[in-house]
Amino acid sequence: MKNSKSFSFEFFPPQTQEGVKKLTATCLQLAELRPEFFSVTFGAGGSTRSSTLETVQKIKADGHEVAPHLSCIGSTRDNIRTILNVYKKIGIKHIVALRGDRPVEAASGEFNYANELVSFIRAETGEHFHIDVAGYPEFHPQAKSPRDDLLNFKQKIMAGANSAITQYFYNADGYFRFVDECRKVGITVPIVPGIMPIVKFAQLARFSDACGAEIPRSMRKVLEGYGDDNESLQAFGLDVVAKLCDRLLAGGAPSLHFYTLNQATPSLEICRRLGL
Protein backbone atom coordinates (compact mmCIF):
# COMPACT_ATOMS: atom_id res chain seq x y z
CA MET A 1 0.00 0.00 0.00
CA LYS A 2 1.39 3.39 -0.93
CA ASN A 3 2.41 5.56 2.01
CA SER A 4 0.39 8.77 2.18
CA LYS A 5 3.13 10.74 3.93
CA SER A 6 5.10 13.39 2.07
CA PHE A 7 8.84 13.39 1.44
CA SER A 8 11.50 15.90 0.51
CA PHE A 9 15.12 15.66 -0.58
CA GLU A 10 18.15 17.87 0.07
CA PHE A 11 20.97 18.63 -2.36
CA PHE A 12 24.17 20.65 -2.14
CA PRO A 13 25.22 22.92 -5.03
CA PRO A 14 27.66 21.12 -7.34
CA GLN A 15 30.99 22.83 -7.96
CA THR A 16 31.99 21.11 -11.23
CA GLN A 17 30.31 20.39 -14.57
CA GLU A 18 30.50 16.68 -13.76
CA GLY A 19 28.72 17.41 -10.47
CA VAL A 20 26.03 19.40 -12.30
CA LYS A 21 25.35 16.44 -14.62
CA LYS A 22 25.22 14.03 -11.68
CA LEU A 23 22.78 16.22 -9.76
CA THR A 24 20.56 16.63 -12.82
CA ALA A 25 20.33 12.84 -13.10
CA THR A 26 19.74 12.46 -9.35
CA CYS A 27 16.98 15.07 -9.38
CA LEU A 28 15.31 13.36 -12.35
CA GLN A 29 15.30 10.00 -10.56
CA LEU A 30 14.00 11.33 -7.25
CA ALA A 31 11.36 13.48 -8.99
CA GLU A 32 9.61 10.24 -9.98
CA LEU A 33 8.59 9.90 -6.31
CA ARG A 34 6.79 13.26 -6.55
CA PRO A 35 8.41 14.79 -3.45
CA GLU A 36 6.91 17.81 -1.76
CA PHE A 37 10.08 19.78 -2.56
CA PHE A 38 13.82 19.68 -3.08
CA SER A 39 16.00 21.85 -0.84
CA VAL A 40 19.41 23.29 -1.74
CA THR A 41 22.05 24.10 0.84
CA PHE A 42 23.83 27.42 1.30
CA GLY A 43 27.54 27.19 2.16
CA ALA A 44 29.12 28.55 5.32
CA GLY A 45 29.21 32.32 5.25
CA GLY A 46 27.33 32.27 1.96
CA SER A 47 30.29 30.56 0.26
CA THR A 48 28.03 28.82 -2.29
CA ARG A 49 25.63 31.74 -2.75
CA SER A 50 25.92 31.96 -6.56
CA SER A 51 25.90 28.19 -7.12
CA THR A 52 22.96 27.79 -4.73
CA LEU A 53 20.99 30.29 -6.83
CA GLU A 54 21.98 28.56 -10.07
CA THR A 55 20.94 25.17 -8.69
CA VAL A 56 17.64 26.55 -7.40
CA GLN A 57 16.88 28.19 -10.74
CA LYS A 58 17.62 24.96 -12.64
CA ILE A 59 15.40 22.81 -10.40
CA LYS A 60 12.60 25.38 -10.53
CA ALA A 61 12.87 25.67 -14.32
CA ASP A 62 12.52 21.88 -14.56
CA GLY A 63 9.12 22.21 -12.90
CA HIS A 64 9.88 21.17 -9.32
CA GLU A 65 9.17 22.89 -6.03
CA VAL A 66 12.42 24.00 -4.41
CA ALA A 67 13.33 25.41 -1.02
CA PRO A 68 16.65 27.30 -0.94
CA HIS A 69 18.60 27.42 2.30
CA LEU A 70 19.58 30.82 3.66
CA SER A 71 22.15 31.17 6.44
CA CYS A 72 22.67 34.35 8.39
CA ILE A 73 26.33 33.95 9.41
CA GLY A 74 28.41 36.22 7.19
CA SER A 75 25.30 37.81 5.67
CA THR A 76 24.03 41.37 5.72
CA ARG A 77 20.48 42.63 5.58
CA ASP A 78 21.13 44.03 2.11
CA ASN A 79 22.38 40.82 0.57
CA ILE A 80 19.64 38.73 2.21
CA ARG A 81 17.07 41.25 0.93
CA THR A 82 18.52 40.96 -2.58
CA ILE A 83 18.38 37.16 -2.49
CA LEU A 84 14.79 37.18 -1.20
CA ASN A 85 13.74 39.49 -4.03
CA VAL A 86 15.34 37.20 -6.61
CA TYR A 87 13.58 34.18 -5.13
CA LYS A 88 10.24 35.98 -5.12
CA LYS A 89 10.76 36.95 -8.77
CA ILE A 90 11.33 33.36 -9.91
CA GLY A 91 8.38 32.03 -7.93
CA ILE A 92 10.07 30.49 -4.89
CA LYS A 93 7.71 30.27 -1.92
CA HIS A 94 9.68 28.14 0.55
CA ILE A 95 12.86 29.00 2.48
CA VAL A 96 14.98 27.01 4.95
CA ALA A 97 16.38 29.63 7.35
CA LEU A 98 19.50 28.64 9.31
CA ARG A 99 22.19 30.21 11.40
CA GLY A 100 24.87 28.32 9.48
CA ASP A 101 28.42 27.41 10.44
CA ARG A 102 30.91 30.19 10.98
CA PRO A 103 33.98 29.74 8.75
CA VAL A 104 37.22 30.95 10.30
CA GLU A 105 37.84 33.61 7.66
CA ALA A 106 34.26 34.99 7.46
CA ALA A 107 32.97 38.12 9.14
CA SER A 108 30.08 37.51 11.47
CA GLY A 109 27.66 39.61 9.42
CA GLU A 110 24.60 41.45 10.69
CA PHE A 111 22.75 38.44 12.12
CA ASN A 112 23.81 36.26 15.03
CA TYR A 113 21.04 33.68 15.25
CA ALA A 114 18.46 32.07 12.99
CA ASN A 115 15.51 33.65 14.82
CA GLU A 116 16.85 37.06 13.72
CA LEU A 117 16.93 35.85 10.11
CA VAL A 118 13.38 34.50 10.37
CA SER A 119 12.16 37.82 11.80
CA PHE A 120 13.89 39.72 8.99
CA ILE A 121 12.34 37.51 6.28
CA ARG A 122 8.90 38.05 7.78
CA ALA A 123 9.43 41.81 8.05
CA GLU A 124 10.59 42.01 4.42
CA THR A 125 8.20 39.60 2.73
CA GLY A 126 5.23 39.06 5.06
CA GLU A 127 3.71 35.62 4.59
CA HIS A 128 5.08 35.08 1.07
CA PHE A 129 7.49 32.34 2.16
CA HIS A 130 6.88 29.14 4.05
CA ILE A 131 9.87 29.13 6.43
CA ASP A 132 11.52 26.00 7.78
CA VAL A 133 14.09 26.12 10.57
CA ALA A 134 16.41 23.50 12.06
CA GLY A 135 15.62 21.36 15.09
CA TYR A 136 18.00 19.19 17.13
CA PRO A 137 16.51 16.08 18.79
CA GLU A 138 19.88 15.40 20.46
CA PHE A 139 20.34 19.15 21.05
CA HIS A 140 22.77 21.46 19.30
CA PRO A 141 26.42 20.71 20.14
CA GLN A 142 27.01 24.36 21.08
CA ALA A 143 23.97 24.61 23.36
CA LYS A 144 24.56 25.02 27.10
CA SER A 145 21.89 22.43 27.90
CA PRO A 146 18.96 20.62 26.27
CA ARG A 147 16.61 23.12 27.95
CA ASP A 148 18.48 26.10 26.52
CA ASP A 149 18.43 24.50 23.08
CA LEU A 150 14.68 23.90 23.34
CA LEU A 151 14.05 27.53 24.26
CA ASN A 152 16.29 28.72 21.42
CA PHE A 153 14.27 26.54 19.08
CA LYS A 154 11.06 28.08 20.39
CA GLN A 155 12.46 31.56 19.62
CA LYS A 156 12.79 30.58 15.95
CA ILE A 157 9.20 29.39 15.86
CA MET A 158 7.93 32.49 17.64
CA ALA A 159 9.82 34.63 15.11
CA GLY A 160 7.59 33.25 12.37
CA ALA A 161 8.78 29.80 11.25
CA ASN A 162 6.07 27.51 9.85
CA SER A 163 7.78 24.18 10.42
CA ALA A 164 11.12 22.56 11.24
CA ILE A 165 13.46 19.95 9.80
CA THR A 166 15.65 18.11 12.27
CA GLN A 167 19.29 17.21 12.23
CA TYR A 168 19.62 13.54 11.28
CA PHE A 169 19.59 10.91 14.02
CA TYR A 170 19.30 7.14 14.40
CA ASN A 171 17.33 6.94 17.66
CA ALA A 172 13.59 7.25 17.02
CA ASP A 173 12.88 7.56 20.74
CA GLY A 174 15.02 10.71 20.83
CA TYR A 175 12.90 12.27 18.09
CA PHE A 176 9.61 11.42 19.80
CA ARG A 177 10.94 12.73 23.12
CA PHE A 178 12.02 15.98 21.41
CA VAL A 179 8.57 16.45 19.86
CA ASP A 180 6.93 15.82 23.25
CA GLU A 181 9.16 18.41 24.90
CA CYS A 182 8.35 20.90 22.15
CA ARG A 183 4.62 20.40 22.63
CA LYS A 184 4.99 20.97 26.38
CA VAL A 185 6.44 24.46 25.80
CA GLY A 186 3.81 25.42 23.26
CA ILE A 187 5.56 24.59 19.98
CA THR A 188 2.85 23.26 17.69
CA VAL A 189 4.42 23.40 14.20
CA PRO A 190 5.21 20.23 12.22
CA ILE A 191 8.67 18.83 13.06
CA VAL A 192 10.01 16.79 10.15
CA PRO A 193 12.73 14.18 10.83
CA GLY A 194 15.94 14.59 8.84
CA ILE A 195 17.14 11.26 7.43
CA MET A 196 20.74 10.44 6.53
CA PRO A 197 21.18 7.24 4.45
CA ILE A 198 24.34 5.31 5.34
CA VAL A 199 26.75 5.03 2.42
CA LYS A 200 30.27 5.23 3.93
CA PHE A 201 31.11 4.85 7.61
CA ALA A 202 34.12 7.21 7.65
CA GLN A 203 32.05 9.93 6.00
CA LEU A 204 29.14 9.41 8.40
CA ALA A 205 31.44 9.45 11.44
CA ARG A 206 33.02 12.71 10.26
CA PHE A 207 29.65 14.37 9.72
CA SER A 208 28.35 13.12 13.06
CA ASP A 209 31.38 14.33 15.01
CA ALA A 210 30.99 17.76 13.42
CA CYS A 211 27.26 18.22 13.98
CA GLY A 212 26.69 16.31 17.21
CA ALA A 213 24.45 13.61 15.69
CA GLU A 214 24.92 10.45 17.73
CA ILE A 215 25.67 7.09 16.12
CA PRO A 216 24.42 4.54 18.70
CA ARG A 217 27.30 2.50 20.08
CA SER A 218 25.96 -0.88 18.95
CA MET A 219 25.37 0.47 15.45
CA ARG A 220 28.82 2.06 15.32
CA LYS A 221 30.45 -1.25 16.28
CA VAL A 222 28.66 -3.09 13.48
CA LEU A 223 29.57 -0.41 10.92
CA GLU A 224 33.21 -0.41 12.03
CA GLY A 225 33.25 -4.20 11.76
CA TYR A 226 32.54 -4.14 8.04
CA GLY A 227 35.89 -2.46 7.34
CA ASP A 228 36.29 -2.17 3.56
CA ASP A 229 33.22 -4.33 2.82
CA ASN A 230 31.14 -1.40 1.61
CA GLU A 231 28.47 -3.58 0.02
CA SER A 232 27.60 -5.24 3.35
CA LEU A 233 27.82 -1.90 5.16
CA GLN A 234 25.33 -0.31 2.77
CA ALA A 235 22.96 -3.28 3.02
CA PHE A 236 23.02 -3.00 6.82
CA GLY A 237 22.58 0.77 6.57
CA LEU A 238 19.53 0.40 4.34
CA ASP A 239 17.94 -1.98 6.84
CA VAL A 240 18.62 0.35 9.77
CA VAL A 241 17.42 3.54 8.10
CA ALA A 242 14.34 1.96 6.47
CA LYS A 243 13.24 0.57 9.84
CA LEU A 244 13.88 3.96 11.44
CA CYS A 245 11.75 5.71 8.80
CA ASP A 246 8.97 3.16 9.14
CA ARG A 247 8.85 3.65 12.90
CA LEU A 248 8.90 7.44 12.58
CA LEU A 249 6.00 7.47 10.15
CA ALA A 250 4.05 4.94 12.23
CA GLY A 251 4.64 7.14 15.28
CA GLY A 252 3.19 10.24 13.65
CA ALA A 253 6.10 12.01 11.94
CA PRO A 254 4.51 14.42 9.42
CA SER A 255 7.03 13.81 6.64
CA LEU A 256 10.63 12.73 6.02
CA HIS A 257 13.47 14.90 4.69
CA PHE A 258 16.35 12.98 3.13
CA TYR A 259 19.93 14.30 3.15
CA THR A 260 20.86 12.75 -0.21
CA LEU A 261 24.47 13.94 -0.59
CA ASN A 262 23.43 14.28 -4.26
CA GLN A 263 22.95 10.52 -4.62
CA ALA A 264 19.63 9.01 -5.67
CA THR A 265 20.03 5.27 -5.05
CA PRO A 266 20.08 5.08 -1.22
CA SER A 267 17.04 7.34 -0.80
CA LEU A 268 15.18 5.59 -3.64
CA GLU A 269 15.74 2.19 -2.05
CA ILE A 270 14.58 3.39 1.36
CA CYS A 271 11.44 4.91 -0.17
CA ARG A 272 10.80 1.66 -2.08
CA ARG A 273 10.92 -0.26 1.19
CA LEU A 274 8.51 2.21 2.73
CA GLY A 275 5.97 1.48 0.00
CA LEU A 276 6.43 4.44 -2.32
CATH of the domain at 266: 3.20.20.220
Q: Region 212-223: what's the mean pLDDT?
A: 93
**Which of helix, strand or coil describes residue 116?**
helix
Q: What pLDDT shows up at residue 102?
A: 61
Query: Quick check: 47 pLDDT over 90?
Result: no
Contact, 276 vs 4, CB < 8 A? Answer: no
Helix (H) or strand (E) holding 165: strand 163-168
pLDDT, one tens digit per residue, over 76-100 is 999 999 999 999 999 999 999 998 8
Mean of the per-residue pLDDT values of the chain: 91
| pTM passes above 0.85 | yes
Q: How far apart are CA 7 and CA 255, in angstroms?
A: 6
Q: One-letter amino acid identity for 5?
A: K
Active site residues: 10
If one counts the domains in the chain, the total is 1
Structural domain of 106: 6-273
Rounded Cα gap, residues 113 and 45, in angstroms: 13
* Residue 2 pLDDT greater than 50, yes or no: no
31: helix, coil or strand?
A: helix
Residue 117 is assigned to a structural domain of this protein: yes
Query: Is residue 47 one of the residues assigned to a domain?
Result: yes
Would residue 187 count as lying in a domain? yes
* Three-state DSSP state, 18: helix
What confidence score (pLDDT) does residue 103 get? Answer: 55
Pairwise CA distance, residues 90 & 77, whole Å:
20
Asked whether the beta carbons of 97 and 118 are under 8 A apart, the reply is yes
**Residue 198 is assigned to a structural domain of this protein:** yes
17 domain-assigned: yes
Position 1 in a domain: no
**Helix and strand totals (H; E) in the chain:** 10, 8
